[in-house]
Chains A and B, each alone.
Chain A
Amino acid sequence: MPSEHWTHPEPGDGPAAAAAQPTPEQVIAGLRATSEGGAELTQLLTPEGERVASPQFDRYVDDIDAEALKGLYRDMVLVRRADREANAMQRQGQLGIWVPLLGQEAAQIGSGRALEKRDMAFPSYREHGVAYARGIDLKEVLGIFRCTDHSGWDYQAHRFHPYTIVIGNQVLNAAGYAMGQKFEGKVGDEDSEATICYFGDGATSQGDVHEGFVWAAVYDAPIVFFCQNNQWAISEPTERQSRLPLYQRARGYGFPGIRVDGNDVLACLAVSRWALEECRHGNGPVLIEAFTYRMDAHTTTDDPTRYRLSDELEEWKLKDPIERVRAYLARGGGADQAFFDQVQADSDAFAAELRDYCFNMPEPPPDRIFSHVYAESTPLLDAQREEYLSYLDGFIGAGEH
């Protein structure tokens, strides 16, 4: 059993226990993309589109009938289509950079749709699908990548924190926010709140993530740590981050950790709902490791062919998060061809709208450089602003003489 391979001997266990220590190959097999995610992987829908019964988690998706599942399917298709459009726009020079989510739609839509409106989400920078699930118009995300803005949306209205680019910073920020929810007594009753925080497998090496786990545990903060293990931190594989499957780290902090099939939208929804419920009851935090795969590059500046084998990609294509829902819906009669065609048409229109918006996005005026550095500005900054704008004014009409 892979789970036994990952059990480390305790001091004093003697030679027998030492023999149970995993070989490097076994450790890597437990960590790596080429595995099935291990025996403890929670899955409700197989890559072939077969529904798997789960005594523990079925009740969390009881309400997901064919109509609801079609909704999740549509969400995933739309965000993938938007992602592909943005990727193409970057290639055409319309975006400075893009961070693709291809392959992670189920992890993001499943967890994002598990949230209540009153919950708070702290993303990293790849969470376009979660943003969409939080009701953010993806146009508002584009400004970051067209470099007209650092953050477009109203974080309070959508309960979705600005993207955080410094790896792992948001884990502490989210832990602090969840501490605030706890301090305000927003756990343990009807209108309980929870926080979810997104980060990647690479981030788990950061001190801030460790500290975030410590703080959350010490203060019983209602926070779900949602690690999307997409197997690659740019070119560094998971075994460069850990000797242990990431979800098992939670035990060291004294809270539950669970590994879910990150390409299974139903499982991601169910496990996230369970974890959020734990938080609402005051039992948080919880670590979820969504075992998934980054199908595209880290960003558009990256070249994954330099560091990973195409076999690996081909293998993961068989586990596509969208295709399995499609197969399930088609086979069970939950959706007909007209539905799939309609979703495709909707997603094309969605992408066209995004493209149109991107091409016509206004550039911010120069005085934006100086705006909102402080809540209360400073004389030096005011003087710099005035001087620079007056310098710019000097060019007006200069060419006419």
Chain B
Amino acid sequence: MADLQKLTIGKAINLGLRRAMEEDPKVLIMGEDVGKLGGVFRITDGLQKDFGEQRVLDTPLAESGIIGTAVGLAVRGFRPVCEIQFEGFIFPGFDQISSQVAKLHYRTQGKIKMPIVIRVPFGGGIGAVEHHSESPESLFAHIPGLKVVSVSNAVDAYWGIQQAIKSDDPILFFEPKKLYHSGAMKSEVDTDTTPDPLFKSRVVREGTAVTVVAYGPSVKVALDAATAAEDEGKSLEVIDLRTLSPLDLEPVFESVRKTGRLIALSEAPSESSLTSEIAARVQEECFYSLEAPVLRVTGFDTPYPPAKLEEHYLPDLDRVLHTVDRSLAW
């Protein structure tokens, strides 16, 4: 009998963390304010109360410290889950992530494993001040030795966090903060099923005219655009990448061979980004199937603007539809 619960993304991650901690006493949660407060987004709410201060660590305030000590704990046999409060604060930890977390397995030819998960709330649309709305995921996808995923819905959030914790590879787990508590994004989570593999992308809406590939918070934008396009008689196929490194582009290739058109959608700046990579790979694999160049809808190549301007900066439904028209006009 399936155990179905209707959950927000935030609650799904919370329950996923709880289950992972119950199943493996070596799983630790560490970060700023993750204990008594339950994290600034309350994602770790209640965990310290039930698992104690030694398994849910309210750490001193330093990201390099959080990641760097997690490395040592992993060497010791623990499975740390680090929370970075906001993506804009991850950079003090970037050195440890790129120099140690990503490379120790390679450096020791597999003798040291780095089963570390780094949870990163990311993306804009919450009207925040500087450093609280960015999308730095491409920077991490570029580093060999790291795996990067991003969830867009409660089902993937619940299972994905558990799969990430079970993985012996270090994983950056990008969470769409704007959707954490979104009632509109609530979905039924079957907590008693066999989940999809973690590193697979998925067609979330079928269509015939144009393929739109997105991840994290942009999946909702893509789906909304697809609904609006349908009213105009245009059929969009939407793919949720889910895994940003390794990129699973097979479903994208397959879709592009069907539609002949691709739009890559992301909040991140476009230059040298995941959307650049998608465009390059699709033209390598699907050159003769393409009816139009791969087009991108992204944030601009600027720092994240003051939030009063973010509605202009963030790709929205209209920019996607406009780009769909450009693609179809080719």
Measuring CB to CB, which residues of chain A are less than 8 angstroms from any residue of chain B?
122, 149-151, 154-156, 161-162, 164, 166, 169, 171-181, 183-184, 207-208, 211-212, 214-215, 218, 371-376, 378-381
Interface of A is mostly: helix
Identify which of A156, A178, A218, A374 contacts B72 (C-beta below 8 A): A178
The residue in chain B whose Cβ has the minimal distance to the Cβ of A163 is B107
A211 to chain B, nearest CB (A): 4
* B291 touches A (CB below 8 Å): no
**Among A162, A175, A178, A211, contact of B108 (Cβ-Cβ < 8 Å):** A162
With A212-B68, A373-B144 already in contact, the answer to whether A162 and B99 are too (CB < 8 A) is: no
Cα of A161 to Cα of B71 in the assembled complex, Å: 12
A211 and B78 within 8 A (CB): no
- Annotate B67-78 by CB proximity to A: 1 below 8 A, 0 otherwise: 111111111111
A183 and B54: CB pair below 8 A?
yes
List, sorted by A's number, 9 A–B pairs whose CB atoms are closer than 8 Å: A149-B109, A162-B108, A174-B72, A176-B76, A179-B72, A180-B73, A373-B144, A376-B167, A376-B169
Interface stretch, picked from B32-40, B56-64, B121-129, B185-193, is B56-64
Which residues of B approach A to under 8 Å, CB–CB? 54, 59-60, 62, 64-65, 67-78, 92, 95-96, 99-100, 103-113, 115, 144-145, 147, 167-169, 199, 245-248
Residues in A with CB closer than 8 Å to B92 are 207
Query: Quick check: A373 and B107 within 8 Å, CB to CB?
Result: no
Residues of B within 8 A of A161 (CB): 75
Q: Please determine whether A156 and B95 come into contact, CB atoms closer than 8 angstroms.
A: no
The one of B70, B113, B247 in contact with A176, judged by C-beta atoms closer than 8 angstroms, is B70
The 8 residue pairs across chains A and B that have the minimum distance between CB atoms: A176-B72, A172-B68, A180-B76, A176-B69, A375-B168, A177-B72, A378-B246, A211-B65
Contact A173/B145 with A215-B69, A375-B110 known, Cβ cut-off 8 Å? no
In-complex Cβ contact of B62 among A122, A181, A211, A372 (8 A):
A211
5 more contacts with CB within 8 A, not counting A162-B108, A179-B72, A372-B109, are A161-B75, A176-B70, A212-B68, A374-B169, A376-B167
- The complex places the Cα of A143 from the Cα of B71 at a distance, in Å, of 24
Q: Judging by beta carbons under 8 Å apart, are B75 and A173 in contact?
A: yes
Task: Tell me whether A214 and B60 are in contact (CB under 8 A).
Answer: yes
Contact of B71 among A173, A372, A373 (CB under 8 A): A173
- Cβ contact within 8 Å between B68 and A150: no
Q: Taking A211-B65, A373-B106 as contacts, is the C-beta distance between A177 and B167 under 8 angstroms?
A: no
Q: In the complex, how many angstroms separate the beta carbon of A394 from the nearest chain B beta carbon?
A: 21
Let me know if A175 and B169 touch, CB within 8 A: no
Point out the residues of chain B lying under 8 angstroms from A372, CB to CB. 105-106, 108-110
Chain B residues, Cβ within 8 Å of A173 = 68-69, 71-72, 75, 100
Q: How far is the CA of A45 from the CA of B111 in the complex (A)?
A: 41
Chain A residue with minimal CB distance to B250?
Answer: A379
Q: Is the CB of B72 within 8 A of A375?
A: no
Contacts of B60 in A (CB 8 A): 211, 214-215, 218
Q: Contact check, B65 vs A215: say whether CB atoms are below 8 A apart.
A: yes
